[in-house]
Amino acid sequence: MRIHHLNCGSLCPRGGRFFGGEGGPLSTAPMCCHCLLIEGEDGLTLVDSGLGLEDVADPKRLGFLFNALTRPKLSLEETAARRIGALGFRARDVRHIVPTHLDLDHAGGFGDFPEAKIHVFAPELRAALNPTNPRERMRYRPALLAGVSNWAPVETQGERWFGFTGVRALPGSRDDVLLIPLPGHTSGHCGVAVNAGEGWLLHCGDAYFHACEVAPEGGATPIGLRAYGALMSVEGDKRRANRDRLRALARDHAGEVKLLCSHDPAELAAFRS
């Protein structure tokens, strides 16, 4: 198995050092959309899809609030379709997409891979297709999800994974990819665990936003990111509890599991190097 770490959407919110960047509150605080491309025994699997080709062509799909707050770069070259093409593959080579959740900056590229099955945790799909409150209606964009016909929802199972509940994301596949329910940011939010041979990678999605949040030795998480994480959570208590569990996982299984999240550019740079 070979794993590629891709930035499939640069976000440029203001906030400076309060959001993990430099300078004052009007300075840019760079963020990424960290996706994984897995070259496995059963073809290509994409973990999250970042922003898509149609998002770049028509930013209104993303909504005024997202554009105003995150100030996406909107680069065709950063879309998953173009990133994968640069590696020598075609869109049809992507057989599976495993999203951590269905926020627009994680699901924007679904339409660029029409032949891929989307293996999403069933509670997350139900929430996305039937939003019940303003926060869900803001984050789940019908323009991104309505055209998807190849859903492959994954129901809860009881497999244990380092003290967490694991769910086989790709039933029948020879590739070891699990959904790890981590609710809080959204009601069906999951991590995606990948057996890379020499150890496990756990893509934690938006269960945390800055490496300091789960670092065993601790550290100062920028106050703006702490506030943003709380603001975007549907169940803050669950998100905080899962963040603490992830910190314990990083501490107790440092040689077996490596953690990463979606939007920390320093983490992405470290994995690329």
Helix (H) or strand (E) holding 191: strand 190-195
The pLDDT value recorded for residue 171 is 87
Q: Find the helix or strand (DSSP H, E) in which 231 lies.
A: helix 223-232
Residue 110 burial (C-beta neighbours within 10 Å; 0-12, 13-18, 19+) = buried
Give me 208's structure tokens. 């945390």
Could you tell me how far CA 166 lies from the centroid of its own chain? 17
Q: What is the pLDDT along the chain (273 residues), one digit of tens a residue?
A: 899 999 999 999 999 999 999 999 999 999 999 999 999 988 999 999 999 999 999 999 999 999 999 999 999 999 999 999 999 999 999 999 999 999 999 999 999 999 999 999 999 999 999 998 888 888 999 988 988 989 999 997 778 999 999 999 998 888 999 999 999 999 999 999 999 988 999 999 999 999 999 998 878 899 999 999 999 999 999 999 999 999 999 999 999 999 999 999 999 999 998
**What does the pLDDT read at residue 81?**
98
Q: What is the pLDDT of residue 38?
A: 97
Q: What residues does 190 pair with on adjacent strands?
A: 181
- Tell me the CB-side half-sphere exposure of residue 118, using CA atoms within 13 A: 25
What whole-number distance in Å separates Cα of residue 125 and Cα of residue 116?
16
Domains identified in the chain and CATH numbers: 2-272 (3.60.15.10)
Buried b vs exposed e over 202-223: b needs ≥16 C-beta within 10 Å?
Answer: bbbbbbbbbbbbbeeeeeebbe
Which run of H or E residues covers position 160?
strand 159-161
pLDDT of amino acid 113 = 97
The pLDDT value recorded for residue 25 is: 94
CB-based contact 180:192 (threshold 8 Å):
yes
**Taking the complete model, does pTM exceed 0.85, yes or no?**
yes
